[in-house]
Amino acid sequence: MKVYIVTGTTSGIGLELATQLVEAGHTVYGIARRENDIAHHRYHHILLDLAETSKLADVMDEIIKGTSLEADSFTLINNAGMIEPIGMVGEIDSELMVKSIAVNLTAPMALTGAFINALSEKELTKKVIQISSGAGRKGYEGWSSYCASKAGLDRFTEAVSLEELKKPNGVRLVSVAPGIIDTNMQGEIRQSTADEFPLVERFKEYKASGQLSTAQDVASKLIAFFESDQFDTAEVLADLRNL
């Protein structure tokens, strides 16, 4: 039995990942702050705001303890993220900046750490996929918090990967930038003003000209990647469009 733990399964890539993995016969635990419409005996929904980072280690422990006897592999997919606050530093809400770092960076760090700890004595396949962004590899005006959190996620993944490579049965980690996708986050970006995000018209054009990938297609490509042998040899920082 393959067990997948996916964050942000209310909509977008997370919802598609959970749906497609369940349909493929796998067991999926979804962590999100809102409900979704997946009704299947192999899907288990955990209602939790990822900004409540102090609760994440206990949640991970409960998932793994409840399934470890039947599982032959565990995969954690840190997918959840938030683009807010959009705007110039000095003008944006500092509380939203803190929440952005909590959801985009602290939560994946905490979940990854708890995942590694809970499975440290298990000799089975263990994978972590971080859903990163091109914004973590290049700065954009108006996205300072988002860029900082995704860059931090990439560096964190690189560092932990080095640690795990020294272990006889360590966790394999990859941080994947999935490209530009037609999700609720893109809708939020298009609602920005030019003062908040100077490239807003470019992102409106992406939508108008059909340049956005669908969440369904991206989820399918991600699953094909991390279930293939290519995952084991991929660079720690990867771009889905180049795989």
Residues annotated as catalytic are: 146
Q: Tell me, what DSSP letter sits at residue 202?
A: H
The upper half-sphere exposure of residue 131, i.e. CA atoms within 13 Å in the direction of its Cβ, equals 28
CA dihedral sign, ordered 215, 40, 128, 151: positive
Helices (H), the chain: 12-23, 56-67, 94-101, 107-118, 144-165, 184-190, 200-208, 215-226, 230-233
Burial letters 203-233, b for 16+ CB under 10 A, else e: beebeeeeebbebbebbebbbebbbeeebee
Residue written as token pair 């990647």: 225
